[in-house]
Amino acid sequence: MRLKVQLVIITCLRIILNTMHRMVYPFLTIFARGLGVDVTAISFALTGRNVASVFSPVFAPVADWRGRKFGMLAGAVTFTVVGLVAVYPSLITLTIALILAVTSKSLFDPAIQAYFGDRVAYEQRGTALAITEMSWSLAFIAGVPLMGFLIARFGWSAPFPVLAALGIGMFAVVWRMIPRSDPHHEPDNEARKNAGIVLASIPALAGISIALWASAANEMVNIIFGVWLSDSFGLQIAALAGASAVIGLAELSGEGLVALTTDRLGKPRAVMIGLFANILASVLLPFIGQTEIGALVGLFFFYISFEYMVVSQLPMMNEIVPRARATAMAFNLVGFGVGRSLGALLSTLVYQHFGFLSVTVIAAMFNIFAMIALAEMQQKVIILPRLMMWFKRTFSRAG
């Protein structure tokens, strides 16, 4: 099967994974009400999910060790267990489903990113990965509104059996589409050592730091935007789903801009532009968000800038350690997971005590940290090497 066709099909499959991942945000209050808990309890469940992503490197070498197809299939199988929520709806099963969903992404995403990284030249890889990342925005445009319809019609737990069935379909499609033999990648029995290779690379650690700080900034707003819109304008389920579609359009636009510009501008420059634009959007959001239209416009610019940055960062990470490509992408997911955990942990507490302006100011500050990490990645500053030398001296003395 031609690579372009595989890109389109894989993008469609990732919409399923990302819908499960993303639908929690706009319907945070709906899930909390259905479970009889407050919003903070759900945000802690999200924190647990994001903490689980820290273990991505445990699973990622599977795609280097057993092959890209095996990693994709393992991710699809893991995803089907989210149907547990429909069998026994509770905060515990929802938390388990969220953790399993992020585990499935930890298996599936590095495998497909490595699969296309093996086959697409670095000069065109920004465009190729931008196409697969369109699944992230399409989940908000199509998947989340569909889940909103199911929730409104059948109750808060209705999406989970549907998503589980789609997970079974994912497995069948990957089994059929991806060839068993792979001339572009030879499974490596030493792949379990790849984590050490990645962690010894200063550029790789800096790239992971970009993911951490930028995703922390994004999660600050992700967690709160549905609550903020409800508190400010009294938006209900259908309106919140519509707001999600606006955000999805913003992200799709960001991914389209990556496909058009990132390979031409250069990946580091594109990441810097995205970070700077996201800082501006963060600072302006509380001020232009005084009306419903203004809030949606502000969210549009916040999400388009973040998506442009993050999708431009992926091809950089994809090429930093070619020998351990899937493992490097998994550690990048760790960065995103730790950052999202930090954002999820802080967002509701900051919002409840200090308001939305404080949330966005902290988001801007996190983006500044990501800029420093980008400079480190390009070896324009030397913070990480000095820290590593300090740790080595400290532990050698302790020993």
Tens digit of each residue's pLDDT (9 = 90 or more) over 71-112: 899 999 999 988 888 888 888 898 889 888 888 988 898 888
- Looking up tokens 């501006």 gives 280
Mean pLDDT of 35-40: 82
CA distance 125 to 117: 7
3-state helix, strand, coil in the chain (%, to 5): 85, 0, 15
Helix axes 144-154, 3-22, angle to 10 degrees: 40
Q: What is the pLDDT of residue 382?
A: 55
User: Which of 116, 150, 118 has the alpha carbon at shortest distance from 135?
Assistant: 116
What's the Cα-to-Cα distance from 49 to each of 42, 84, 100, 390, rounded to whole Å? 11, 16, 8, 32
CA distance 332 to 212: 8
Residue 289, CA atoms < 13 Å, CB-side half-sphere: 24
Terminal C-alpha separation, the chain: 56
C-beta of residue 55 within 8 angstroms of C-beta of residue 105: no
The token pair at 373 is 């990490």
CA distance 54 to 5: 32
Of the pLDDT bands very low, low, confident and very high (cuts 50, 70, 90), residue 302 is: very high
Residue range of the domain that includes 340: 3-398
CA distance 386 to 198: 18
Residues whose CB falls within 8 Å of the CB of residue 336, separated by 6 or more in sequence, listed in order: 53, 211, 212, 215
CA distance 340 to 86: 26
CA distance 211 to 282: 17
Mean pLDDT of 38-42: 79
For residue 335, the Cα-to-chain-centroid distance in whole angstroms is 10
> Quick one: CA torsion of 232, 237, 243, 245, rounded to 10 degrees?
170
Of the pLDDT bands very low, low, confident and very high (cuts 50, 70, 90), residue 281 is: very high
The token pair at 387 is 């820290």
DSSP state, residue 178: S
Mean pLDDT of 131-137: 86
The structural domain count of the chain equals: 1
Residue 273 dihedral angles phi and psi, to the nearest 5°: -60, -45
CA distance 268 to 259: 15
Q: What is the pLDDT of residue 309?
A: 94
Q: What is the pLDDT of residue 160?
A: 92
The token pair at 368 is 């500044």
Q: What is the pLDDT of residue 320?
A: 83
What's the Cα-to-Cα distance from 388 to each of 174, 212, 376, 384, 394, rounded to whole Å? 41, 18, 13, 6, 10
The CATH number linked to 359 is 1.20.1250.20
Contacts within 8 Å (CB) and 24+ apart, 300-304: 300/246, 300/247, 300/249, 300/250, 301/250, 301/277, 302/221, 302/250, 302/278, 303/247, 303/250, 303/251, 303/254, 304/250, 304/251, 304/253, 304/254, 304/257
Is a pLDDT exceeding 60 seen at residue 399?
no
Rg of the chain (C-alpha set) = 20
Q: What is the pLDDT of residues 46-69, one digit of tens each?
A: 777 777 777 766 766 676 666 788
Q: What is the pLDDT of residues 156-198, one digit of tens each?
A: 889 999 999 999 999 999 999 988 766 655 655 555 567 777 8
Of the pLDDT bands very low, low, confident and very high (cuts 50, 70, 90), residue 391 is: low
Q: What is the pLDDT of residues 229-253, one digit of tens each?
A: 777 776 666 666 666 677 778 888 9
